[in-house]
Amino acid sequence: MSYLEITQEEPAEATDGVWLTCIECGEHFPPFAGIRYTCDECEGLLEVRYADLPTFADFGDDESAFHGGVWRYSDALPFDEGVSLPEGDTPLHNVPRLEDEIGVERLRVKHEGMNPTGSFKDRGMTVGVRVAQAVGVDRLACASTGNTSAALSAYGSRAGLEVLVLLPAGKVAAGKIAQASLHGARILEVDGNFDRCLDIVKDLADRGEAYLLNSLNPFRLEGQKTIGLEIMEQFMAEEGDFPDRIVLPVGNAGNTAALYKAFRELEATGAIDEDQIPKITGVQAEGSAPMVEAIEEGWDHIERWDDVETKATAIRIGNPVNAPKALPGVRETGGTAVAVTDAEITDAQRSLAEEGVGVEPASAASIAGLRKLREEGVVDTDEQVVCLTTGHLLKDPDAAAEAGTDPEPVPADTDDVLDHLRS
């Protein structure tokens, strides 16, 4: 039994129409009194619930200064405004050559790398840091493959709070460490992978040493839910329809869970019908694919992979903590999950770059996964698809340089340059 169904019936624990529900046992908790990341009773994952959910017509109707981006959807969020840079309102690119080559009716790329710190994590942090202010903490912490740490450092600094980040030593792309560093986080490089970093940060949070802002924190996913809301609105405005499928890279499965929640809420208000929910389709790297394994095996849980490896370091994760929310999301929407090789990821990164869209390796996994599912006939030619690209090219300059062309040294002389070009 799981309690993923959206009900708007307000329990006694609610504050201003907002409360937390355990998805495993259905227990309710107050949203901001006390700090909890999982259920007090059974340690199940928590979800934020609302007594009054908006429909499309309600979005953007509030005249506040935080009108744009994520806060356009404030009616679906626990606050009306937050610590903002601002975030969201990202482009939904046309990629005509890729669309032709892959062979689907419509392909659009939602480029989350265009957020202020270069990844979708900003959407989660603008809400998460606002909640941290509400519960009254002074030190924020996360484990990270890089992007979460960059976003938390920026938003935490802006809020004037101390930030602690735990990173897997040697496995975080240069751009991300540079961001965490300049925004002033205290950076601990852990001799272990991301999953071990998260184990430790959870322990620190449980001991009251810091407020956890990984996607285990249900409020982060509220912010990330706006990716789904934006895709639905943009696609409808530009294509006159909702997309059939959304393909996204999966690491800790936070976005997968967040998209599913966005669609469950839209369905609960009657804004969309059940058959209009896009098929949520997750992509992992072959070297770290516990979600794909669970979907293929028909499991209702994932088995943690202790040894994970991929060039797409952002999704080098063996224990996706949001799996209990994400696995039903993939299944109930009629989606699937697929694993791709590092070489396929690099090819997809180049294909996107040819369309002018620069992404980091993990992001390109969505295109690589769609390509594979199309080749296997799992995705039909008549589908309208949105691929999510989660992080900017400059996050991982080494991977970009390796996938791209090499600079050619030439003398500082026009004739020599011409000779070189002709040779």
Residues near ligand F0G (CB under 6 A): 119, 121, 144-148, 215, 249-256, 314-315, 360, 362-363, 390-391
In angstroms, give the least distance from the CB of 172 to ligand F0G. 9
Closest to ligand F0G by CB, 265 vs 360, is: 360
In angstroms, give the least distance from the CB of 137 to ligand F0G. 20
In angstroms, give the least distance from the CB of 136 to ligand F0G. 25
In angstroms, give the least distance from the CB of 398 to ligand F0G. 15
Closest to ligand F0G by CB, 49 vs 316, is: 316
Report DSSP letters for 302-335, one per residue: -PPPSS---S-GGG--S--TTHHHHHHHHHHTT-
In angstroms, give the least distance from the CB of 82 to ligand F0G. 19
First to last CA, the chain: 69
Q: Are 153 and 223 in contact (CB under 8 A)?
A: no
Closest to ligand F0G by CB, 137 vs 253, is: 253
The strand pair at 92-94 and 106-111 is best described as antiparallel
Q: Token pair for residue 211?
A: 């407020």
Closest to ligand F0G by CB, 316 vs 372, is: 316
In angstroms, give the least distance from the CB of 251 to ligand F0G. 3
Closest to ligand F0G by CB, 14 vs 195, is: 195
Closest to ligand F0G by CB, 148 vs 271, is: 148
Ramachandran area for residue 118 (φ above 0: left; ψ -120 to 50: alpha; else beta)? left
Q: What angle do CA 186, 146, 403 make, to 5 degrees?
A: 140
Q: Are 10 and 19 in contact (CB under 8 A)?
A: yes
In angstroms, give the least distance from the CB of 189 to ligand F0G. 14
Report DSSP letters for 153-188, one per residue: HHHHHHTT-EEEEEEETT-S-HHHHHHHHHTT-EEE
Alpha-carbon span 271 to 242, nearest angstrom: 12
Closest to ligand F0G by CB, 24 vs 122, is: 122
In angstroms, give the least distance from the CB of 365 to ligand F0G. 8
Alpha-helical segments (H) within 91-248? 96-102, 121-135, 147-158, 174-182, 194-206, 218-239
Closest to ligand F0G by CB, 78 vs 254, is: 254
Beta bridge partners of 109: 93, 387
Maximum distance among all alpha carbons in the chain? 80
Closest to ligand F0G by CB, 315 vs 340, is: 315
Alpha-carbon span 329 to 267, nearest angstrom: 14
Beta bridge partners of 247: 281, 387
In angstroms, give the least distance from the CB of 373 to ligand F0G. 18
Which is nearest to 262 in space by CA: 237, 300, 233, 282?
Answer: 233
Which is nearest to 377 in space by CA: 104, 108, 107, 109?
Answer: 104
In angstroms, give the least distance from the CB of 212 to ligand F0G. 12
Closest to ligand F0G by CB, 115 vs 351, is: 115
Q: Are 99 and 106 in contact (CB under 8 A)?
A: yes
Query: 211 vs 138, 156, 252, 320, 369, CA distance in Å?
Result: 8, 11, 18, 20, 35
